[in-house]
Amino acid sequence: MRMSKLFSQTLRESPSDAEITSHILLERAGFIRQLAAGIYTAMPLAKRSLTKIENIMRDEINAIGGQEMSMPVVQPAEIWKRTGRWYKVGPEMGRLKDRNGRDMALAMTHEEAVSDIVKNEIHSYRQLPVLIYHIQTKWRDDPRPRAGLIRVREFTMKDSYSLDRDWEGLDEQYRAHYQAYFDIFHRCDLPVISVKSDVGMMGGTMAHEYMYITPSGEDTLLLCDKCGYSANRQIAVFQKESGPEEEALPLDKVATPEMKTIAALSEFLGVPESKTAKAVFMMATVLEDEEEVEKLVFAIVRGDMDLNETKLTNAIKAKELRPAEEAEIVAVGAVPGYASPIGLDGILVVVDDLIPQSPNLAAGANEEGYHYINVNYGRDYKASVVADIVAARDGDACLGCGASLRAVRGIEVGNIFKLGTWYSEAVGCTYQDEDGEEKPVVMGSYGIGSGRLLASIVEEYNDEYGMILPISVAPYQVYIVAIAGKGEKGAEAMAAAEQLYTDLQEAGVEVLFDDRDESPGVKFNDADLIGIPIRLTVGPRSLKDGGVEFKRRDQKEREIVPLEEVVAKVKELIATLKAEIAERIVPMPFEE
């Protein structure tokens, strides 16, 4: 491809709304253009990289028995209603009506579509196991799209679905995906770790996320360097230290003027924050007889800990959570800043499982300017639900080995789920076993977003000048900078560059040829910005010095290579770079 013909242009300035490196560089390098919030066009350079990423996915999923297909983006609501997710999923689902007034959905994932197909295609145990997949557009109306391709509303995903006759078969396909995903990321030269994660709206019994560790990530992960425990903060568990054993002291109400925070209350009473109870009010949307109902939730955690909203959501099986407004809190008789479950009726009280082991806490008295001291769970109040609802933090003790957990930030680049039989039972996906008995198909779901993966690669590989793309995903392998100059020498240089462009293409090398009428500085800057692995400079000076200036994008060193040796040297380096990536593809231990 000639730069003079490329349908894109580089930008000198960073986009005003760009927050992270990948967003800045992908926009500036002409890879992406924003159409609307969270909706991007992949320009020709990005499309080539995304196609390479998607072909890597195809290779690895095909290698474990995958069969590629394509399922519709627009789907009838009926298939989502069968599984109940039409009612469970919030406004992030795109809903519309067709011209006949029928409810339709824009697919945010394809479990329902797969279940509908399986119901009609799978009849006998002889047809199982099966692994099907597609690479398709998805829509999730994220309320806070940000960071370029990291958090978008429309995106392309490779999602695969395993179909088995029993849980042992699911275990086998799940583990095959577990390794295949590492192979995909390693072939893209992206370092990732796997962590246990929340099953979320997908449901099922187990899930793992593949995380790229970076300060720009939105997810917090808890890792144990001693025993290898790893989990998303949404579900991470840790050793909780209960308070010292004490006899329950008499409940007493004390004046605490203007003490509306845990920190202020702790200092005023002269007790550690661990001797206080923190009240958090949330409004939960729950399903009752397929009707959405909002309920006030009074969550109580120890004062030195923080509520984990995902754990709370799972504990009460809520569809959505939001912070309660002051009027909603007051309406049930509670007093913001001085709230207590003592004496309140008709609300859903959820306490962390450490609260019953923490005697004589200070808690609100539901009266402005007053708190109770010596509040004891069981004697003074009871909860509707007792569960682990607190967030793990950096330095907390690992539940498995006691070592300190380490908190890091990460970007989720892939996930895998053991769905089990929930979808198949809801839809009626059954097969007949050897004895003629009808049994539900056991399912797994596995996804990777190609755009987010590309953005993560750019986050990992860049410098002050631009992107440094791995050979496996770069849109082209070689960038030729032609410096024509003036006169006969300039014409010779341009002719040499043209011939080199032809020779490399005939040798099967992917080349971007900068033949524009621009200054050498502009061309060098664009070469660095776009980040293609190998740069070849052909100009009067290089020819005078003996040939072509040869430079790797990830190194500062340059050398002059005779014209007749360039093609062979380029092919040799491409092979070396590919071999270096291949060495990173190794078996990974499965983390239960």
Q: State whether the Cα torsion 106-107-112-113 is positive or negative.
A: positive
- 214-226: b or e for each residue (b if 16 or more CB lie within 10 Å)? bebbebbbbbbee
Residue 246 to residues 277, 353, 383, 499, Cα–Cα distance (Å): 16, 18, 21, 87
Calculate the dihedral angle through the C-alpha atoms of 529, 534, 540, 541, rounding to the nearest 10 degrees. Answer: 90
Residue 197: the pLDDT is: 87
- Spatial CA neighbour of 461 closest among 154, 189, 257, 81: 189
Residue-wise pLDDT for 531-548, tens only, equals: 999 999 999 999 999 999
Express each pLDDT in 16-55 by its tens digit: 888 899 999 999 999 999 999 999 999 999 999 999 999 9
- Residue 478 CA to chain centroid, in angstroms? 31
**Those residues with Cβ within 8 angstroms of residue 496's Cβ, 6 or more apart along the chain or in another chain:** 538, 543, 548, 563
Per-residue confidence (pLDDT) for residue 206, from 0 to 100: 84
Tell me which residue has tokens 């930008």.
Answer: 11
Peptide bond into 129 cis (omega under 30): yes
Burial per residue of 277-286, b for 16 or more beta-carbon CB atoms within 10 angstroms, e otherwise: bbbbbbbbbb
pLDDT tens-digit profile of 334-366?
A: 999 999 999 888 889 999 999 999 999 999 999
- What does the pLDDT read at residue 90? 84
407-456, pLDDT tens digit by residue? Answer: 999 999 999 999 999 999 999 999 999 999 999 999 999 999 999 999 99
Dig out the tokens for 32 from the structure. 């992406």
Q: Which of 69, 2, 4, 9 shows the shortest CA–CA distance to 33?
A: 9
C-alpha–C-alpha distance, residues 466 and 458, integer Å: 9
The pLDDT of residue 42 is: 98
Neighbour tally for 562: CB within 10 Å: 10
- Provide the pLDDT for residue 549: 98
Asked whether residue 592 carries a pLDDT value surpassing 80, the answer given is no
Structure tokens given for 437: 């008995």
Within 10 Å of residue 349's Cβ, how many Cβ atoms? Answer: 17
Do the strands 430-432 and 277-288 form a parallel or antiparallel pair, or are they unpaired?
A: unpaired
What does the pLDDT read at residue 205?
77
CA–CA dist 341, 168 (Å, integer): 46
Taken in order 506, 512, 515, 521, is the CA torsion positive or negative?
negative
Residue 288 vs residue 506, higher pLDDT: 506
User: In this predicted structure, what is the pLDDT of residue 167?
Assistant: 95
CA nearest to 198, candidates 91, 309, 87:
309
Sheet of strand 511-514: strand arrangement:
511-514, 478-482, 534-538, 548-552, 558-561
- Tens of pLDDT, residue by residue over 238-290, are 999 887 889 999 999 999 999 989 999 999 999 999 999 999 999 998 877 77
**Alpha-helix residue ranges (DSSP H) falling in 188-257:** none
Confidence tier at 202 by pLDDT (50, 70, 90): low
The pLDDT, as a whole number, for residue 289 is 73
Q: What is the mean pLDDT of residues 309-320?
A: 91
The DSSP letter of residue 154 is: E
Q: Which residues of 353-375 are buried (b: 16+ CB within 10 A; e: fewer)?
A: ebbeebbbbbbbbbeeebbbbbb
pLDDT tens readout for residues 54-93: 999 999 999 999 999 999 999 999 999 999 899 888 899 9
510 burial type by CB count under 10 A (0-12 exposed, 13-18 middle, 19+ buried): middle
Render 395-410 in DSSP notation, one character per residue.
TPEETTT-PBPEEEEE
Q: Within its chain, how far is the Cα of 420 from the centroid? A: 22
What is the average pLDDT across 521-540?
A: 97
Mapped to the 3 state alphabet, what secondary structure does 498-557 carry? HHHHHHHHHCCCCEEEECCCCCHHHHHHHHHHHCCCEEEEECHHHHHCCCEEEEECCCCC
**What is the gyration radius of the CA atoms in the chain, in angstroms?**
29
Domains defined along the chain, listed by start: 21-190+419-459 (3.30.930.10), 252-387 (3.90.960.10), 476-582 (3.40.50.800)
The three state secondary structure string of 24-75 is: HHHHHCCCEEEEECCEEEECHHHHHHHHHHHHHHHHHHHHCCCEECCCCCEE
User: Tokens 């709230």, residue?
Assistant: 339
CA distance 536 to 236: 49
Q: What angle do CA 193, 199, 204 make, to 5 degrees?
A: 120
Which tokens belong to 356?
Answer: 């019953």
The pLDDT mean for the chain works out to 95
Can you state the angle between helices 563-582 and 487-506, rounded to 10 degrees? Answer: 40
By percentage, how much of the chain surpasses pLDDT 70?
99
Which residues, listed in sequence order, are joined to residue 467 by a DSSP beta bridge? 462
First to last CA, the chain: 47
Lookup result for tokens 């579900």: 235
Task: Output the furthest CA–CA distance in the chain (Å, rounded).
Answer: 100
Q: What is the pLDDT of residue 201?
A: 60
Give 322-374 as a DSSP string: EEPPHHHHHTTT--TTS--STT--SSEEEEETTGGG--SEEEEEEETTEEEEE
What burial class does residue 114 get, using C-beta atoms within 10 Å of its C-beta: 0-12 exposed, 13-18 middle, 19+ buried? buried
Residue 244 has a pLDDT of: 82
The confidence score (pLDDT) of residue 288 equals 79
Nearest of 355, 371, 238 to residue 300 by alpha carbon: 355
